[in-house]
Every structure is written in C-alpha cells, then in structure tokens.
Structure 1
Amino acid sequence: MTTPAPDRTDDRVVHYASRGSTHFDVILATFCVVLVVSNIVATKGIELGSGSWTIGSLQLWPIITDGGAFLFPLAYILGDVISEVYGFKAARRAIITGFAMALLASVTFWVVQHAPAASFYENQGAYEAVLGFVPRIVLASLAGYMVGQLLNSVVLVRMKSRTAERGLFARLITSTGVGELADTLIFCAIAASVIGITTWGQFWNYAVVGFVYKVGVELVVMPVTMLVIRWLKSREPTYWRSAPPEAAEPQA
C-alpha cells in the first residue's frame, strides 16, 4: 500500500521542513557570518548629507547610522526564511548559534587586544580604537538581536498557524516590523555613545532612521525573499509532509 502524495494545493494546512538538510546548513552559516561582520563594522558611525535640519531637538538631517546598516538587515531576511520554512525551533537554534559566534568573535578581539604586541607592530592604537569598541557593540547588538529575532520568529510562526500558506507577505512584513523595532531601540540605546552620539536629537535620528531603513530594505527585497522561500519549499522534500515535532510553534 503506497502513501498518497501530499496535497500542495491546500493552503489551509501548516507545513514546515525538517532542518536536517544542506539548505538549512548554508542558510545558518550565512546567518552567522552576517551577524559577526555586522557587529565589527557597526563600530564606525556614518553621517550621510551635509548641513543641518532640525525640528526642536530632533535632528532630521544629516542622516546618522553605522556600518552595520549595510549588512545587518540581511539577518532579518534570513530569519524570516528560517522561521517560515523550518519553524520556530529551527529559528531559535539559528539565533542561539549566531549569538554564540558573535560572542566568540568579541572575546577573541578582546584577547588579541590585550596580548603583548610584537616590537615591530605599530598599529596597536588603531586596533584598540576600532576593535576595542567591539565588545560593547556586541552587547548592544546581541541584546537587541536576541529580543528582536525571537519576536520576529514568534510573530511569524503564530501568524502562520492561523493563515497557513496564505498571507506570506503580511506575516513577513509584520514580523519584521515588530522585531526590527525592538532590535533598533535596544541596540541604539546601548551603542549610541560608542559611535559618538551625544544629543537626544542625534539619538532619535539614529534610531528612527535605522528602523525605517531596515524595514525599507525588507520591503525592497521582499519579492526576492518570497521567491527564495517558495524555492526552498519546493526543494525541501519534508516540507509538504506533516509538520515535524521540531517545527512546532512556540507555546504561549
């Protein structure tokens, strides 16, 4: 007796793939690299534009951000992909693994910074000026990242439990908005002084621009994100079977 093939036309059924595949491994590796690199480059404050435009104490122009803005939004895109295709427990594993890799990088930078410099090494001051700030940036990033990514995954998975295969765009943008808002506020509150922000006007510029930018990136690349998700769903042989235990939604 043969088992009937799963019905892929029924969009009312919730599906998840097992994380035991090479696709998940590649996504997880990329996710960790994005997080570690973003933490390093976030030590550089960036100001886009000249002149000054303020409303009260709020500085609207020039735009203030940091080096992490160029790559970090990809972490949320990858988090969406993992949560949508592999479920909450897979996303939680990715988040914890990324946390561990970023912490390892930060500890390594700290150890190297305090190791005795060679007599011919002339860049100790430059090393400390840039990478010496990384541990505090990592604290800011990891605090925001843990809260934001977990919220992102929880919101997406709970929405999927109600809409199944329908409403992909809505749950992607809603989960990202919730996660990025929490992430940005926590990160900016801790990291602002590290990159040289000294006024409340600059801080709110930093936080608001960061949030709008990250969500904007998500919107711009949303068609690509949805294509990648659909591609993975069609390539993962376990996706259209019954949802495996490790993909169960988070408990209330």
Structure 2
Amino acid sequence: MSNDTATDTFLTGKVAFVSGGLSGVGLAIAKSLAVHGARVAVGSRRAGQGDGADLNQQFHVVALDVQDGLSVSKATESVEAKLGPVDILVNAAGITAEQGVVGHSDALWHQILDTNLSGAFRLTRAVLPGMIGRGWGRIINIGSTAATVGWMDNPAYCASKAGLLGLTRCVALEGAPHGVGCTMISPTWVETDLLHSNTAEVAEREGKGRTSADIVQDIRAQNPQKRIIQPGEVAALATFLCRDEAFGLSMDNIQITGGALW
C-alpha cells in the first residue's frame, strides 16, 4: 500500500489521533491513515519506554494512559500543539483477561472496563467539542464481536465492548447535526501479537499439552473462511470510514469476521 504512487491522499490536511497505536490493529490503522495523507499521532502507555522508537519518524508519539483523565488531557494537548486540532479519533486501546464471573475481582473488572470503555469516553469527550465546532469529525471505536456475543470467562471484556457500542451510538447522535460521525468496527480474532500472547496464556493455563500454535490453528479452522483476519483489513475499513461518502455509516457496528460468530 505504501509503495502505491497512485494512493488517494484524501486525508491531506486532517489530523488523526490513534490510541493503542504502537502495535496491532491500532498501528495498522495509524499507518493507513498516514499513507492517505493524514498527520497522525499515536498514544500508548509504552511511549517513551523504548517501544516503537522507530515510529517517531512517522508519527507524533505521545504517552497515553486512557485510564487516567489527566494523561488523556495532556496527550490531547500535546497532539493539538504539535499537529493541530484532532479531526479523526481512533479508540484502539484495549485489554482483556480471561476470568469467569465466579472469583472475578473488582480490580480486574474495573481495569478492563476503565480501559476499553471509559478510556474511549475520555478521549471522545476531549476531542468532540472541537469537531462539532469545526463541523467535521470522525470517531472510530475498535470493538469486537464480543459486543454482541457472550464468551465463557470473558464477562468484563464482553461488557466493555457492549458498552462501547452503546457509547458509539450516543456519540453518533450527538455529532450527527454537526458533520461528526462515530462508528464501531467489530472484528473477530485478528492476527496480532496480542492474539499469540493470549493463546500462549490459554495453552499454559490448560496444561493439556496444546501449544499456542495449536490454539491459533483451531481458531483458523473454526472460521468459515479458514483463516484469521489481518490488521490491514481493519485498517482499510477504518480509513474508508473517514471519507465524506461514508458519513452515512455513522452509528453502525460493522463486523469483520469471515463469517465467525466470535
């Protein structure tokens, strides 16, 4: 994509801010938005810790802990001081942990919801007034099929993504009269480092002799398309949603699943 000299730079002049943008889906989206002309900032808790140092040449990298309101404010101020007002917000920061309702601690519950749901709320609250004032904006929330399908040992994750869908719809309504769209993209399993670390944890916890690679192969086999969704697929959709022609997709929950339920 980046080698395509005919790339449509329709986002020239726009500023994008991607949370969770140093890895996985967030990074793929940040790169796609940049290829199409946007000035891009990425935020991460790992910023400044040596992780993603090479990305400083491509993006404005800021320290961001979406669980901390002050961190959100400082990161947003840094982005706007360096690049200008935020036109596109991508809420891609997220965490998960497998634990059933029985024995689930309050601390873990709040950590997952505070990151996946409240973090998106804090960032949206920070940039939405400016978007409304300028009469144009796009907010893209990275959800999951977990928003609409329950999954064993994932109550906090499922609840956080279901809540994110509710937030998406409310923001879409609030922004609609002002040219501001808000849409959620809900992929099934995506082939990222997080997928492999999660499957490694599952394999270790099961203690049945299955490896992480075995579990990944099971996920691939269970998908009707017999494959795992790639980060670039999510990035391509996120980029398309920033087009003026895609404004009518505001409020939608668009799933990228290959036919899988989860």
**TM-score using structure 1 length:** 0.29
Determine which structure has the larger strand proportion and give its number.
Answer: 2
**TM-score using structure 2 length:** 0.28
